[in-house]
Every structure is written in C-alpha cells, then in structure tokens.
Amino acid sequence: MDHGNILSRIQALTYSITRKIGHQIEGVLSELGLTRGQFYILKTIESQGKCRATDIANMMEVKPSAVTLMIDRLEARRWVRRSQDTSDRRVIIIELTPEGKEVLEKARKISDEVVRRYFAHLSYGDLNHLLKIYEKLERIAVDKHEKSKGEKGNRRARQ
C-alpha cells in the first residue's frame, strides 16, 4: 500500500472507530440525561476546580454561547452552580455541586467501561504502542495549531 493509501485508510479507520465508540458512549450517557458535551464540561470543571464559561469554551474550542447553553441545562439539573467571583464581581464562576460530582462519577464509570470493552482485545504492548503514537500525534497537532494561530495573528497585524 502506498503512503497516500495508508493515510486514507488511517483517516477512515480513525473516523469509524471514534464514531462507533462515541455513539455507544452517547447511548449510556443519555441514560443519565447527559450529552457528551455536557460530560466534557463536567470533567473540565472537576479538573479545574472552579472556572469561567469562557475558560471551558477555550478548552473545547467552541463559542462561549454554546457553552452557556450547556451550562444552563446543567444548572437546571442542579449539577453545576454559578456564583460571582469574590475578587471581581463581573466574573461568573462555575463549579460542580455534590449532585454534579455524583452524576460525573457514574458517567465516568460507564464511559470507561465502554472504552475498556473495546481495548480489552489489545495486549498491554499494543496499548502502550498506541498510546505513544497518539501522544506523538497530539504534540504535532498542538504545535501545528499554535503555529496556525500565530500566522493568523501576524496576518491581522499586517492588514
């Protein structure tokens, strides 16, 4: 197989695998009343402690308005709470509630189980090799993304 065919096959397989696993995860999350985006937001808030909607939007690389809608839904379910930042009243801080922590833990367990079922068929060596490849691709993607952002900024400055 030539280089172009290999890349096409990798791209098709990556899309197919991600879609299949993602679809199964969506199914189990929906039983808890969560979307994948909401699950990601809950995980992000947990990892950051408290954060602003703009911080979440930046991490997800989406518009803040999209995050605001998801946070509205999470707040309606009492899984997150909004409050004013004590050091800057203009800033709204978002944090997990105890109920949010509970649903996140349930969601994480069932999501992990879906992924585990797929990867259980690979040896430890295969998993480790796959991890190294993904880490390398992530570094390349981050580097290219940062360079792309820098080039856009330079173009704007010249205009």
The CATH number that applies at residue 79 is 1.10.10.10
Q: How distant, in Å, are the alpha carbons of 22, 68, 107, 110, 111 from that of 27?
A: 9, 23, 11, 10, 10
pLDDT category at 145 given cuts 50, 70, 90 is confident
Same domain, 95 and 142: no
Tally of domains in the chain = 2
- HSE-up of 20 (CA within 13 Å, CB side)? 9
Same domain, 77 and 141: no
**Per-residue pLDDT tens over the stretch 83-111:** 988 888 888 999 999 999 999 999 999 99
Same domain, 59 and 114: yes
Same domain, 88 and 50: yes
State how far the Cα of 143 lies from the Cα of 158, in Å rounded to an integer: 23
Residue 41 predicted with pLDDT over 90:
yes
Q: How distant, in Å, are the alpha carbons of 7, 56, 155 from that of 149?
A: 25, 19, 10
Same domain, 146 and 82: no
Residue 28 predicted with pLDDT over 80:
yes
pLDDT value of position 49: 86
Same domain, 127 and 115: no
Burial of 70 (0-12, 13-18, 19+ CB in 10 A): buried
pLDDT value of position 64: 86
Same domain, 147 and 96: no
Number of H helices, E strands in the chain: 6, 3
What domain range is 136 assigned to? 123-159
Q: How far apart are the first and last CA of the chain?
A: 45
Of all residues in the chain, what percent carry a pLDDT higher than 90?
A: 69
